[in-house]
Amino acid sequence: MMYSLAHKRKRIVCAVLLCASFAVSIQCYGAQAKLRSASDYAEATASLTVVITGVRNANGKIRLALYQESKLSAFRLVDIDVHSLTATVVFNRLSQGVYAVYVFHDENMDGRLNANFFGIPTEGYGMSNNPRKRAGKPGFDETDFHVNPPATTIEIKMIYWK
């Protein structure tokens, strides 16, 4: 199937927008994270374990953001297990509710999801519910899941474009 130049440009623009929106959401976590009060912890009753698989190498760290009801709830920087090329993080004392997790493999530790000239990510990324690889960031409704007491475990498979 032959694509016109205009169609190719549209695909490139979509890839750029995906990379930019994902990188901005990951980079803004420190500024947006709110501190929880003692009363927030008193009502929390669940834990969430996130297992990240398919990491291509042990360079750098995995940056992980946890959203509750589409608002940033927590941010973590996670070490990669050099033997299994996986990463695991546990969030304790979460209130029951709807969450989403977004991750990217910060191989060069610059704090952002890097992309090539066309906007295609050169570092890996992943989201809860493992939506398929495509141009454009999936909406919260595609990545959300329920956390219920006493514990919930999810697996995120990393996506690499090359």
Q: What is the pLDDT of residue 28?
A: 43
- Give domain status of residue 139, yes or no: yes
**Mean predicted confidence (pLDDT) in 72-88:** 94
Q: What is the pLDDT of residue 34?
A: 46
**11-65 confidence digits (pLDDT tens):** 555 554 455 455 545 554 444 444 454 444 446 589 999 999 999 999 999 999 9
- Give domain status of residue 45, yes or no: yes
- In DSSP terms, 115 is beta-bridged to 121
Quote the number of domains for the chain: 1
Q: Name the pTM for this structure.
A: 0.73
CA dist 102 → 42, 69, 88 (Å): 26, 13, 13
Q: What is the pLDDT of residue 25?
A: 52
- Give domain status of residue 40, yes or no: yes
- Report DSSP state, residue 148: -
Range of the domain at 112: 5-157
Angle at 152 between CA 18 and CA 76, to 5 degrees: 50
* Amino acid found at 87: A
- Give domain status of residue 35, yes or no: yes
**108-162 confidence digits (pLDDT tens):** 999 999 999 988 999 999 999 999 888 778 888 999 999 999 999 999 999 998 8
Place of tokens 């090359």: 162
Give 26-34 contacts, CB < 8 A, sequence gap 24+: 26/63, 26/65, 26/102, 26/104, 26/112, 26/113, 27/111, 27/112, 28/72, 29/65, 29/72, 29/75, 30/75, 32/71, 32/72, 33/72, 33/73, 33/74, 33/75, 34/72
Q: What is the pLDDT of residue 32?
A: 43
Q: What is the pLDDT of residue 124?
A: 96
Q: Which of 73, 77, 135, 76 is nearest to 99 (CA)?
A: 73
Task: Tell me the residue length of the chain.
Answer: 162
Q: Give the CATH number, domain containing residue 88.
A: 2.60.40.10
Q: What is the pLDDT of residue 128?
A: 97
- Give domain status of residue 116, yes or no: yes
Q: What is the pLDDT of residue 155?
A: 98
- Give domain status of residue 142, yes or no: yes
- Give domain status of residue 162, yes or no: no
